């Protein structure tokens, strides 16, 4: 959903499952609970990805877009 809907299947900053697919969601949740190494990698990569969407960065991007359209 949202900003993650077009991420590739190998996106490593979040666990992504198709909408309304409870079996894949179940398997993914089980993997998250049992695979500590992958869980840590997803957490680290997720934090790195989330930093791309902080308000200072978003406002700079918006400002650049508006400036370039004038």
Residue scoring higher pLDDT (31 or 3) = 31
Please report which confidence band the pLDDT of residue 2 belongs to, taking 50, 70 and 90 as the band edges. low
- Say what the pLDDT of residue 1 is: 59
Please report which confidence band the pLDDT of residue 69 belongs to, taking 50, 70 and 90 as the band edges. confident
Mean pLDDT (the chain, rounded)? 90
Q: Would the CA dihedral through 2, 61, 56, 7 be positive or negative?
A: positive
**8 Å CB contact between 62 and 53:** no
- Span 59-69, average pLDDT: 91
**Would you say residue 6 has pLDDT above 90?**
no
């Amino acid at each position: 959903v949202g900003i993650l809907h077009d991420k590739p299947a190998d996106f490593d900053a979040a666990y992504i499952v198709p909408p309304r697919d409870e079996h894949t969601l179940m398997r993914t949740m089980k993997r998250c609970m049992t695979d500590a190494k992958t869980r840590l990698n997803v957490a680290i990569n997720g934090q790195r990805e989330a930093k791309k969407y902080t308000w200072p960065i978003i406002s700079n991007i918006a400002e650049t877009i508006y400036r370039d359209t004038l």
